[in-house]
Homo-oligomer: A and B are copies of this chain.
């Protein structure tokens, strides 16, 4: 099964591309050309990212999109949540609504734990980690949060 949808995948790619040019607002067509993605789809992705607060869109002739925050402040979970909504393994994980079996479902509390682990896995990686080092190699050190 595929965890996140294709739109969310594209969203991370676009956000990563935006993270490489923090001070430069570019339009959707330029991002599409740089990422080799369908222009219409990337426009939709930028749109949802703007709605989610990940990027800010400037209208007008010289308008374009720009990262709303620093790349190291935006996590993959944020980007995914901006496109596909809140992350949750099941309906009951995020919203109690949506499933009428919450009362007698024995597996519900256990899924909350799994949901937390998954959210942490997606929230631990930021856009700075995506654009900074080309090769994936998180430092052998266990802790990554404490930075000098």
Query: Which A residues lie at the B interface, using CB under 8 A?
Result: 1-5, 8-9, 12-13, 16, 36, 76, 80-81, 84-91, 101, 103-107, 109-110, 112-115, 117-118, 120-122, 124-125, 129-131, 134-136, 138, 142, 144
Q: Report, nearest first, the 10 A-B pairs whose CB atoms are least far apart.
A: A1-B84, A117-B121, A109-B136, A3-B89, A118-B121, A110-B136, A1-B85, A9-B90, A110-B130, A16-B107
Copies of chain A in the complex: 2
The residues of B that contact A120 with a CB separation of less than 8 Å are: 117
Chain B contacts for A131, CB-based, 8 A: 106
Q: Within 8 Å CB of A112, what residues of B? A: 136
Residue from the list B86, B125, B138 in contact with A1, Cβ < 8 A = B86
* B residues less than 8 Å from A121 (CB atoms): 114, 117-118, 121
A7 nearest in chain B by CB position: B1
User: Chain B residue with minimal CB distance to A88?
Assistant: B2
Pick from B1, B107, B125: contact of A110, CB below 8 A: B125
